[in-house]
A and B are shown apart, each in its own frame.
Chain A
Amino acid sequence: MSIYAVIFYILAVIIVTFTVMAITRRNLMHSIVFLVGSFLTSAVLFYLLGAPFLAIMEVVIYAGAIMVLFLFIVMMLELTPEESDWWGFVRPWLWPLGLTVVCLAVIFVYLIFASGSGHKLPLVMASPLTFGRFLFHKYWLGVEIASYLLFVALVGALYLGRGEDIGG
C-alpha cells in the first residue's frame, strides 16, 4: 500500500465523519460549519485524484460561495433550533437509514463481483492549462449554457427576493 492510498483512506474517514456530524446536528449553524470542513477535505481528495483545478473550484464555489450563502440566510432568518423531543427527532431517520444500509450492501456486493472494479487508479495530474484548453475546445457550448443558467438563476433570485407586495 503506497503512501497515497494511506492518505486516501484518512481523507475518506475525515469526509464521512464531517458529513455525518453535519447532517445530524440540530443547530443549523453547526451543521453548516461541519459541511465546510467536509468540502475542504473533498478538495484535498480531488487534488489527490489528479484534478488540481477542480480542487480550487471546490474550495472557491462550494466551501466559499455556497456555504457562505447558507450562513447568510441562516443569520438573516434568525432561526430557532428545532424543538422536538429525542424520539421526535430520531423517528424520521429510521426508514431512510434502513434503505441506506440495504443500498450500501447491494453496492458493496456488486463492486466485489463487477468486472474491472479492481482496476487501480494511476497517479496522474491534469494541469489547469491542459484542462482549460480541453474545456474551451470541446465543451465551449456547455460553458456558454452554464453561464446562461447562472444568469437565469440570478434573475430568478432577484425576482423572488423583491420587497414589495408580498403579504400572502
Chain B
Amino acid sequence: MVYVVPYSHVIFLAAILFLLGAVCALARRTLIMILIGVEVMLSAVGLVFVAASMRWQQLGGQAFVIFIMAVAASEVAIGLALIVYSRRRTGTIDADRYNLLKG
C-alpha cells in the first residue's frame, strides 16, 4: 500500500496556517484584513478535517468541511455587508479609528 505522509505533518502544516490567520486577525488594523485572517483560519481547520477523515477512513470529516465552507461563505457575506455599512456611517474601515466612545 502506498502512503503519503505521517498524520502529524499535516496537523503541523494546518497549525502553521491557523496561527498565520490568527496573527493576521490580531495584527492588522484594516477590517477587511481581519476577515481575511478568519478565512485563513477556517481553511486550516478544513485541512485538519480532511486529514482526520483520511486517517480514520471515515467520510464524516469531509462532510464537515462542506459545513465549514457554508459557514465561511455566510460569515463573509455578513461581514462584508457590515464593513460597507460602517464605512458609509463613519467614512473609514480602520479598526483603530472607531473611537467614538473614547473619553
Contact = CB atoms under 8 A, between A and B. Distances in A.
Contacts of B98: none
B11 A142 contact: no
A119 to B, nearest CB: 5
B63 A134 contact: yes
Given A8-B4, A23-B23, A65-B73, A161 B36 contact: no
Contacts of A107: 11-12, 15
Interface in B2-57: 2-13, 15-17, 19-24, 26-30, 32-33, 35-37, 39-40, 43, 46-47, 50-51, 53-55, 57
Contacts of A69: 76-77, 80
Given A35-B40, A150-B70, A123 B3 contact: yes
B5 A8 contact: yes
Given A19-B40, A119-B55, A66 B73 contact: yes
Contacts of A5: 3-5
B99 interface: no
A122 to B, nearest CB: 6
B63 A160 contact: no
B82 to A, nearest CB: 6
A88 to B, nearest CB: 10
Nearest to B19: A100
A19 B17 contact: yes
Q: Which of B7, B30, B77, B85 has the most CB of A within 10 A?
A: B77
A125 B71 CA distance: 25
Q: State the 7 A-B residue pairs at the shortest beta-carbon distance, nearest first.
A: A153-B74, A117-B8, A23-B24, A146-B70, A160-B81, A120-B3, A157-B81
11 contacts: A8-B4, A23-B40, A45-B47, A54-B46, A54-B50, A73-B84, A104-B16, A122-B4, A142-B67, A153-B75, A161-B84
